[in-house]
Chain A
Amino acid sequence: MSDPAPASQAGPACAFAPWDDPQATPLIQFQGVTKRFGDFTAIDAIDLEIYPREFFALLGPSGCGKTTLMRMLAGFETPTEGTITLDGQDIVPVPPNKRAVNMMFQSYALFPHLTVYDNIAFGLKRSGMDKGEIDARVQEMLRLVQLQKFAHRKPHQVSGGQRQRVALARALAKAPKLLLLDEPLGALDRKLREQTQFELVDIQEKTGTTFVIVTHDQEEAMTVASRIAVMNEGRIAQVDTPGNIYEMPTSIYVADFIGDVNLIEGGATALGDGIVEIAWREGAPAIRGTAPAPVANGQTATLAIRPEKISISREKPKDRNNVVPGKVHDIGYLGNISTYHVRLADGHIVKAQVTNQQRISRRDFTWEDVVWLSWSDTAGIVLTR
């Protein structure tokens, strides 16, 4: 299978990136949307734009408001304040059954009394299509999800992975402008989940439908999405491509939520060219990182650096500005990679990740070895919030 995530085809001008194009009109626009349940604010003044053909992920811990945001798109919740437009039309007063939006439920919500075929045909029958057209469309959907053989089974007579595909086919049958997926792969086991992620992207590209997926699984979001909105307590912390979310987080929350990260705090000094120096410990040489936003001298800032961007060596590297000595405290061996937990002189633990190019018997370091950690000036990001 070819590389499915449009965002990972980085660089060239032909890449799919309507969010960078000022001419592009968004399919969905949230403007100042707030949702309160009694005293609790589930969604707090969100502005968000989603473009046609995007595979957009809402990512966050449970209770961050991502499901509420999705349910507002489906029409099951109305915003307390603000407007939501779909294709330029205000959809807030439109009931769920009149929206060109379909949803794939986390529980799949397949009708247990209907066959796979009738489940897929359910929405089409409601729209008043004639019989022949319905049949053609259902067959097309069955082919798309490769379930032709199971058309006349009831949902409880097919496997979990097949049920998931029935739910997808049913939601896609009416050719909605927007498809919502609520934790679509949560019920599948790991292997099947990974395989299905790619199938999902494939189907999204084939049908050209705009997908919005809600998930708490960051790997899933990174794999399938063209852009990710990381949410926290009813607000959007950052919206960007998976690559940028990972490499250039704009807040400590996002850096910490996505992947593994080392956070080192200290007083900042700007050195120009976006490079900022952080005095993280009395007596130790300052460490450097790139700041995406200007940092004032003397401000407290945090250097966020990914473990795989730190190299580990026995000898002190001479050509680098960021060099820190420590002792190997723990080694997490995962087969393909090893994570070294290195304790610095002040007790701080820094994680460094190394790919295991050599066999385990020839490993360079072991517990309590004195090692040097080093990284380049652009490897770490300096964040102030």
Chain B
Amino acid sequence: MDVRRFSLVAIPYAWLMLLFLVPFGIVLKISLSDYALAIPPYTPTLDLSAGWQGLRAYLSQLDIENYVFLTEDDLYWKAYLSSLRIALVSTLLTLLIGYPIAYAMAQAPAEWRPTLMMLVILPFWTSFLIRVYAWIGILSNEGYLNQALLFLGLPEATILNTNVAVYIGITYTYLPFMVLPIYATLEKMEPDLIEAAQDLGCTRSEAFWRVTLPLSQPGIIAGCFLVFIPAVGEFVIPSLLGGSETLMIGKVLWEEFFNNRDWPVASAVAVILLLLLVIPIVLFQRNEQKQREAGG
């Protein structure tokens, strides 16, 4: 391989090394350390001046007792499960709302599409925090939603500080990440395909289920990953909109780091979370690859 091609490939790899692998290595190391009343709040710390002997002593002090601890307290696995459930429900909600939006955008006249796309992206121009705070104003007991319900003579609803508020918050925040990839696959689909399906005996809805939906599958998968992965580790939305019943691993992680100052346990929580997310993705992509090869 010549130098130019090598350097071209090397840049993204160096980037990954520097910004992903090295920080991950540090977190992994902290998760294997012990809690200490010190700065930084863990032992051992690496002292290169002690030489080879020092390094061996350093490595011998690392252990997996933090991981063992995580299995002993049911708070943690409950938080993991609850996070996965909340993320899953929110992802499904986002898909149910996002797909029709993307579909409508793709069906709209071509000259409208850039405007519609702009409207989807527009919320990003305001701070994410402000938008989540705005939902407090809408969902609180005296908020706009309840005022509207009162006006219509309907019973009031308690939404803020429940899981429902968290679902609403996540769905609202991550909607563009679902809409955009689905729109991208729908938009490049030939309209002839739908006519061909109808010509061969499909009604409009059959044509959608048999042709449009299978062909938009890559967009759906990409969108679901883009929503699901950050939603599992979400911290801001559950802490602002959720209540005491809302148990999410992001919140546990934050409390472990900043309230308990137990960096090693917090790091262990983070490592498990990462594995929980990475393994299914890797397996999924393997499967995709195999299918592609089998098809080829």
Secondary structure class of chain B's binding surface, majority of residues: helix
User: Hey, which chain A residues are within 8 Å of B210, CB to CB?
Assistant: 122
User: Chain B 178-214, CB within 8 Å of chain A: the 1/0 string?
Assistant: 0000000000001011011111111100100011001
Please, how many residues of chain B have a CB less than 8 angstroms from a CB on the other chain? 20
Residue B215 CB within 8 A of the other chain: yes
Query: Contact partner of A102 among B200, B211, B214, CB < 8 A?
Result: B200
User: Hey, which chain B residues are within 8 Å of A213, CB to CB?
Assistant: none
User: Chain B 276-296, CB within 8 Å of chain A: the 1/0 string?
Assistant: 000000000000000000011
Determine if A105 and B195 form an interchain contact, defined as CB atoms under 8 angstroms apart: yes
Determine if A96 and B198 form an interchain contact, defined as CB atoms under 8 angstroms apart: yes
Please, how many residues of chain A have a CB less than 8 angstroms from a CB on the other chain? 26
Query: Contact partner of A111 among B193, B201, B296, CB < 8 A?
Result: B193
Determine if B214 and A105 form an interchain contact, defined as CB atoms under 8 angstroms apart: no
Determine if A112 and B215 form an interchain contact, defined as CB atoms under 8 angstroms apart: yes
Determine if B201 and A123 form an interchain contact, defined as CB atoms under 8 angstroms apart: yes
Specify the chain B residue showing the minimal Cβ separation from A114.
B214
User: Hey, which chain B residues are within 8 Å of A96, CB to CB?
Assistant: 195, 198-199
Distance to closest chain A CB from B168 (angstroms):
34
Determine if B200 and A107 form an interchain contact, defined as CB atoms under 8 angstroms apart: no
Given contact pairs A97-B203, A157-B296, A109 touches B198 in the complex (Cβ within 8 A)? no
Residue A103 CB within 8 A of the other chain: yes
Determine if B198 and A105 form an interchain contact, defined as CB atoms under 8 angstroms apart: no
Distance to closest chain B CB from A150 (angstroms):
13
Determine if A127 and B201 form an interchain contact, defined as CB atoms under 8 angstroms apart: yes
The complex places the Cα of A106 from the Cα of B195 at a distance, in Å, of 12
Given contact pairs A111-B211, A113-B215, A157-B296, A102 touches B193 in the complex (Cβ within 8 A)? no
Query: Contact partner of A170 among B195, B200, B203, CB < 8 A?
Result: B200
Residue A235 CB within 8 A of the other chain: no
Distance to closest chain A CB from B215 (angstroms):
6
User: Hey, which chain B residues are within 8 Å of A170, CB to CB?
Assistant: 200
The complex places the Cα of A76 from the Cα of B197 at a distance, in Å, of 12
Given contact pairs A105-B195, A109-B192, A154-B295, A97 touches B201 in the complex (Cβ within 8 A)? yes
Subset of 11 A-B contacts with CB under 8 Å = A74-B199, A76-B195, A97-B203, A103-B195, A109-B190, A109-B193, A111-B196, A113-B215, A123-B201, A126-B201, A126-B202
Other contacts beyond A112-B215, A170-B200: 20, CB < 8 A: A75-B199, A95-B198, A96-B195, A96-B199, A97-B198, A97-B199, A103-B195, A103-B196, A105-B195, A106-B192, A107-B190, A109-B195, A109-B196, A111-B211, A113-B214, A113-B215, A123-B201, A126-B200, A126-B201, A154-B295
